Copies of this chain bind each other. A is one copy, B any other.
């Protein structure tokens, strides 16, 4: 592979001059520039990004460590992150923690070793020593979706409280009183916040959330299945179940179907995180939708601000309830031409 030396030789100039034209430095004669460009062309020269990074101490690369790529929510987040980063001149390297703190550390370490310019993370746990060290060392960092309390890092996330209240109002309006939740890991903010928001909203209606109705999942499908089976084995199973993410809702659906039960006739189901398939499931699933693309873009902007010396602030965007039929309400007879802009949005599916 041709190096800058080859280009310099071919163009009859020094490597310094080649470097200048490559970096659009103004003080290069038109003649030299033309010869360099011609040499670059005929040699098919491409600058070695590794060497450039070593020299400039910049990689123009962002690290994104997410909890689980297989979760459509995070896939979409990753996609929007890459798009915004590309628009701002950065590449992104994704590390998939698969909800495992050890894997998360593996990726953080790998990314740090590669000297990425900044790190976007959706922590799988309460913060490993490695992650905390990275913050302390001054690594530009931004948390997305999940965050670590007590750590001074900007957070870009959705606030689901209002949407959860809307969901509880919806469930209550449909007559559900025995209500359960499949929660995420308590060590994650989204794991604990969603339970707390749900519990608080239920309390407003005088509905308790007993331990038996609080299942501990890990945000992955298998745990949703397991917890739902536990609920169904109860002497008095819940009438409605709220899965704290879409994967656990999938697992819950598997468990319900395996028993030959029907949603919402035998049990109501709602999920945090909306996905395109929820429109087509049997029945369409009522879900809380996050402004995922917005979150990804805002997170990148915050991180790039930080990298480039500005001081980003945390961003919180509202989530919203999308009512479909999985909690018992009949669908509207005809699709309405427009969707309601109110917090409780009725889906046209």
Binding site for B on A (CB under 8 A): 1, 44, 46-51, 53-54, 59, 69-70, 72, 75-76, 78-79, 82, 86, 91, 93-94, 96, 106, 109-110, 112-115, 133, 137, 221, 250, 253-254, 257-258, 276-277, 279-283, 335, 349
Chain B residues whose C-beta falls within 8 Å of the C-beta of A276 in the assembled complex:
221, 250
What does DSSP make chain A's interface, helix, strand, loop or mixed? helix
Q: Are B113 and A48 in contact (CB under 8 A)?
A: yes
Chain B residues whose C-beta falls within 8 Å of the C-beta of A106 in the assembled complex:
86
Q: Are A47 and B113 in contact (CB under 8 A)?
A: yes
Bound-state CA distance A221–B76 (Å) is 14
Q: Are B79 and A46 in contact (CB under 8 A)?
A: no
Residue in contact with A79 in the complex, picked from B53, B69, B109, CB distance below 8 Å: B69
A280 and B250 in contact (CB under 8 A), knowing A76-B70, A78-B69, A257-B349?
A: yes
Q: Are A257 and B282 in contact (CB under 8 A)?
A: no
A243 nearest CB across to chain B (Å):
13
Residue among A50, A109, A258 with max Cβ neighbours from chain B (10 Å): A50
Extra A-B contacts (17), CB below 8 Å, given A48-B115, A50-B59: A44-B133, A46-B112, A47-B113, A50-B54, A54-B54, A69-B78, A69-B79, A70-B75, A79-B96, A91-B110, A221-B276, A253-B280, A254-B279, A257-B279, A257-B349, A277-B277, A280-B282
Q: How many copies does the complex hold?
A: 2
Bound-state CA distance A106–B92 (Å) is 13
Bound-state CA distance A93–B96 (Å) is 11
Chain B residues whose C-beta falls within 8 Å of the C-beta of A254 in the assembled complex:
279-280
6 shortest A-B CB distances, which residue pairs? A282-B282, A277-B277, A49-B113, A280-B281, A50-B54, A50-B53
Bound-state CA distance A257–B335 (Å) is 10
Residue in contact with A46 in the complex, picked from B94, B109, B250, B277, CB distance below 8 Å: B109
Chain B residues whose C-beta falls within 8 Å of the C-beta of A86 in the assembled complex:
106
A310 nearest CB across to chain B (Å):
22
Closest to A76 in B: B70
Chain B residues whose C-beta falls within 8 Å of the C-beta of A78 in the assembled complex:
69
Chain B residues whose C-beta falls within 8 Å of the C-beta of A221 in the assembled complex:
276
Q: Are A70 and B79 in contact (CB under 8 A)?
A: yes
Q: Are A114 and B49 in contact (CB under 8 A)?
A: yes
Interface pairs (24), CB distance under 8 Å: A44-B133, A46-B113, A48-B115, A49-B114, A50-B50, A50-B53, A50-B54, A50-B59, A54-B54, A69-B78, A70-B75, A72-B72, A75-B75, A79-B96, A93-B93, A250-B277, A253-B280, A257-B349, A277-B277, A277-B280, A277-B281, A280-B282, A281-B281, A282-B283
A336 nearest CB across to chain B (Å):
13
Bound-state CA distance A7–B93 (Å) is 29
Q: Are B50 and A115 in contact (CB under 8 A)?
A: yes
A290 nearest CB across to chain B (Å):
16
A75 nearest CB across to chain B (Å):
6
Chain B residues whose C-beta falls within 8 Å of the C-beta of A44 in the assembled complex:
133, 137
Q: Are A115 and B49 in contact (CB under 8 A)?
A: yes
